[in-house]
Chain A
Amino acid sequence: MEQEAPVGVKQGGDAGRSLLSRYAPAVAPLLVLASLAALPLASPGPNTVRLLFVTLTLVTASVGWNLLGGFGGQVSFGFAVFYGLGAYTAALSINGGIPPGLAFLLGAAVAALASLLVGLPTFRLKGPYFAIATIGVSEAVRVVMTNLPWTGGASGYRIIEKGRFFQMHHYYTALALAALAVGISTLVRRSKLGLALIAIREDQDAASDLGVNPFAAKLLVHALAAALAGAAGGVYARYAAFIDPDGVFAFRNGIAILLMPIIGGVGTIWGPVIGAFVYGLIHEEVVAYFPQAHLLIFGSLLILIILFEPGGVMGLLQTSLRFIRARSSVGSHS
């Protein structure tokens, strides 16, 4: 997945790179964050805010998935479980009188605990066990939740909060959580854990020969990723004020959480964010225009990305950037 610099193009050559291209990677995220934070200045309609709110919760889940799938190379189809457990935990806690911030934290904790249930039996082994187990787990949990009487079973669960509803309050919660997720992702990528995960992704046997404990690393990052997805589910549940097993535990949520990092660029910091924005902003339009075929479209997109641009949007950007650089350097030589 990592692309090597072609021979002859100097990557570190300061002379060839303008100030803009050197500082852009650091400044651009701050600009994005600032403009998202300054959203009220544009006085958007409630529907735009809702769309952005949902997109930001998706960013959190997508960045979480990428910690495990992108850095560690472990494909999970079951992140809907963590999203749903976070949603239900937060909902039960808020109705129990626990302040929302703590409720989200509890949601994250329960999701992280649940991640052990899948991780403990499967991460010890090499091979496809983890990926396949995740296909079953969201279905199993959805079935159990549908039949659980004290959360309302199939008819869902309602969150009752006294006081007025401030949409922007929810929006900023989601924005803060998404920023936190990106921060965690950056830290993990730069830490020893991040290096260990990438080593495991590239060659697990070689990694463990070099002293990495694949089992512990995968278990830890799975829990971290699950916590992020759980917190996202909790924030969403408080906003929606009503959740049901078919909504939050649906297999299609797991598919969406996996699609976003793939669209944006798996294994990068910003790919999952870009992917979540692409998916979050076009998804409803696609569903509205092709109610029968929207998953057909996303499935085809997945196949095309895997076959032609495994790096997603980020890979596409890199390729075109390199193409432009190569063109301009050819131009200066002639």
Chain B
Amino acid sequence: MSAADLLNLFIAALLLAGVYAAMSVGMTIIYGVMKIVNLAHAGFLMLGAYFVYEAYDRFKIDPLLGVLLAFPVFFFLGMGVHWLLVRRIPTSDQPTLTSLLLLFGLWLVLQNLGYLIWGNADRAILTPRTLSSFEIGPISFPTVRLVVFGAAVVSLVGLEFVLHKTWFGRSVRALMQNNEAGQIVGVNVQRTAQVAFGVGIAFAGAAGGLLAMLYSFSPDFGAPFLLRAFVIIVLGGLESFAGLAVGSVILALAETFIILVLPASYQPAVAFSLLVVALVVLPEGVAGLWNKRRRWA
């Protein structure tokens, strides 16, 4: 394998990492604010994919615009789900049996609604962009991957802006850092949790749309990404957005370069192995390393 091939693989992994980060950030927000692992995340990724697909197929809406539309639609969908289901279960400082099972049930419902509506045939979003690419020297950039990467980065920067410059963002960060202290200084927990859940689902839907531009999908679509999202969050230290980016890059690199040593069919086992390694070596995630350094310094 030549150096150019390795460089190509490396670029592909970095571009993949952008989508991975966008896909995991929704889960991080919901976990941070409510200490709930959103197992239904996979279901919303799948719905996002079909949302963008239907918008393109029926109304000829460009998939990128479809992803933009997915943000408000899934935001209100998430708020609705929170109002209907999530607010009814007791909260705790760590995930409870109840919350895991409730959201798992919701995932089953969403996935099988998908089967009822769209059947189990694989779909794909094909645009003129899908197969085009351009080259700079020996390195080739697939256009669609660049576009998806760009959209993911823009949305993450937007979120970072919201989290640091708005009251809602401050409330979210307060609750993530210390729930009780947040309540004492007057953060409205229920309200913030509902909006945070909406934002989390909005990112799930949009990320599903982005993933749909890269891969074919069926109602079972989200399942492999659920574990990936969680591995990324664990690598990032559960509640750190900077760690999330690092986690995405690590997973994307591992998945891309594993094909050099193992048959591609073993790729689904990579995420799980990485999770085990991460839990043994880095239980506090990459962010834990920084915190330790800070403590020593």
Q: Which of B6-14, B15-23, B241-249, B266-274 contacts A (4 or more CB under 8 A)?
A: B266-274
A1 to chain B, nearest CB (A): 8
Partner among B37, B85, B224, B269 whose Cβ is within 8 Å of the Cβ of A128 = B37
A146 to B98, CA, bound (A): 33
> Is B95 touching A131 in the complex (CB atoms < 8 A)?
yes
Closest to B273 in A: A140
Residue A323 lies at the interface, judged by CB distance under 8 Å to chain B: no
Q: List 11 A-B contacts (CB under 8 A).
A: A125-B279, A132-B230, A133-B272, A139-B227, A255-B108, A293-B112, A299-B106, A299-B109, A300-B105, A302-B104, A306-B105
Residue A24 lies at the interface, judged by CB distance under 8 Å to chain B: no
Instruction: For B283, list chain A residues within 8 Å (CB).
Output: 124-125
Residue A12 lies at the interface, judged by CB distance under 8 Å to chain B: no
> Is A306 touching B98 in the complex (CB atoms < 8 A)?
yes
A332 to chain B, nearest CB (A): 36
> Is B94 touching A133 in the complex (CB atoms < 8 A)?
no
Residue A292 lies at the interface, judged by CB distance under 8 Å to chain B: yes
Closest to B271 in A: A136
Instruction: For A143, list chain B residues within 8 Å (CB).
Output: 265-266, 268-269
A320 to chain B, nearest CB (A): 22
C-beta contact mask, A67-102 vs B, less than 8 Å → 1, else 0?
Answer: 001000101010000000000000000000000000
A264 to B89, CA, bound (A): 20
> Is B109 touching A147 in the complex (CB atoms < 8 A)?
no
Given A147-B265, A292-B116, A310-B98, 13 additional A-B pairs, CB 8 A: A75-B97, A128-B31, A131-B37, A133-B276, A135-B39, A140-B272, A293-B112, A293-B116, A295-B108, A299-B106, A299-B109, A303-B85, A306-B98
Instruction: For A255, list chain B residues within 8 Å (CB).
Output: 108
B252 to chain A, nearest CB (A): 17
Instruction: For A262, list chain B residues within 8 Å (CB).
Output: 101
Residue B102 lies at the interface, judged by CB distance under 8 Å to chain A: yes
> Is B269 touching A140 in the complex (CB atoms < 8 A)?
yes
Residue B113 lies at the interface, judged by CB distance under 8 Å to chain A: yes
> Is A136 touching B101 in the complex (CB atoms < 8 A)?
no
Q: A121-B280, A125-B279, A140-B269 are in contact. Are A132 and B94 (CB under 8 A)?
A: no
A244 to B37, CA, bound (A): 32
Residue B217 lies at the interface, judged by CB distance under 8 Å to chain A: no
Instruction: For B107, list chain A residues within 8 Å (CB).
Output: 299
Instruction: For B101, list chain A residues within 8 Å (CB).
Output: 75, 258, 262, 302, 306
Q: How large is the interface on A (under 10, 10 to 19, 20 to 34, 35 or more residues)?
A: 35 or more
Residue B275 lies at the interface, judged by CB distance under 8 Å to chain A: yes
Residue A137 lies at the interface, judged by CB distance under 8 Å to chain B: yes
Which one of B85, B224, B283 has the highest number of Cβ atoms from chain A below 10 Å of its Cβ? B283
> Is A121 touching B115 in the complex (CB atoms < 8 A)?
no
Instruction: For A307, list chain B residues within 8 Å (CB).
Output: 85, 88-89, 102
> Is B109 touching A300 in the complex (CB atoms < 8 A)?
yes
A2 to chain B, nearest CB (A): 13
> Is A296 touching B109 in the complex (CB atoms < 8 A)?
yes
Which one of B95, B112, B271 has the highest number of Cβ atoms from chain A below 10 Å of its Cβ? B112
> Is A299 touching B227 in the complex (CB atoms < 8 A)?
no
Residue B234 lies at the interface, judged by CB distance under 8 Å to chain A: yes
Instruction: For B272, list chain A residues within 8 Å (CB).
Output: 133, 136-137, 139-140
B84 to chain A, nearest CB (A): 10
A135 to B273, CA, bound (A): 13
> Is B111 touching A295 in the complex (CB atoms < 8 A)?
yes
Residue B196 lies at the interface, judged by CB distance under 8 Å to chain A: no
A28 to B212, CA, bound (A): 55
Residue B55 lies at the interface, judged by CB distance under 8 Å to chain A: no
Residue A144 lies at the interface, judged by CB distance under 8 Å to chain B: yes
Partner among A124, A292, A302 whose Cβ is within 8 Å of the Cβ of B105 = A302
A192 to B140, CA, bound (A): 63
A258 to B97, CA, bound (A): 12
Partner among A147, A299, A306 whose Cβ is within 8 Å of the Cβ of B263 = A147
C-beta contact mask, B27-38 vs A, less than 8 Å → 1, else 0?
Answer: 000010000010
> Is A306 touching B95 in the complex (CB atoms < 8 A)?
no
Instruction: For A299, list chain B residues within 8 Å (CB).
Output: 105-109, 111-112
Instruction: For B106, list chain A residues within 8 Å (CB).
Output: 299, 303
Instruction: For B276, list chain A residues within 8 Å (CB).
Output: 117, 121, 133
Residue B146 lies at the interface, judged by CB distance under 8 Å to chain A: no
> Is B108 touching A298 in the complex (CB atoms < 8 A)?
yes
A205 to chain B, nearest CB (A): 10
Q: A125-B279, A125-B283, A144-B269 are in contact. Are A136 and B227 (CB under 8 A)?
A: yes
A260 to B170, CA, bound (A): 42
For chain A, residues 37 to 76, give those with C-beta under 8 angstroms from any C-beta of chain B: 69, 73, 75
Closest to A201 in B: B97
> Is B116 touching A296 in the complex (CB atoms < 8 A)?
yes
Closest to A144 in B: B269
Instruction: For A126, list chain B residues within 8 Å (CB).
Output: 94
C-beta contact mask, A216-228 vs B, less than 8 Å → 1, else 0?
Answer: 0000000000000
Q: A121-B276, A306-B101 are in contact. Are A139 and B223 (CB under 8 A)?
A: yes
Closest to B228 in A: A136
> Is B275 touching A133 in the complex (CB atoms < 8 A)?
yes
Partner among B94, B102, B108, B115 whose Cβ is within 8 Å of the Cβ of A292 = B115
Residue B226 lies at the interface, judged by CB distance under 8 Å to chain A: yes
Residue A253 lies at the interface, judged by CB distance under 8 Å to chain B: no
A307 to B101, CA, bound (A): 10
Residue A127 lies at the interface, judged by CB distance under 8 Å to chain B: yes
Instruction: For B280, list chain A residues within 8 Å (CB).
Output: 121
A302 to B85, CA, bound (A): 12
> Is B279 touching A139 in the complex (CB atoms < 8 A)?
no
C-beta contact mask, B99-141 vs A, less than 8 Å → 1, else 0?
Answer: 0111011111101110110000000000000000000000000
Instruction: For A131, list chain B residues within 8 Å (CB).
Output: 37, 95, 100
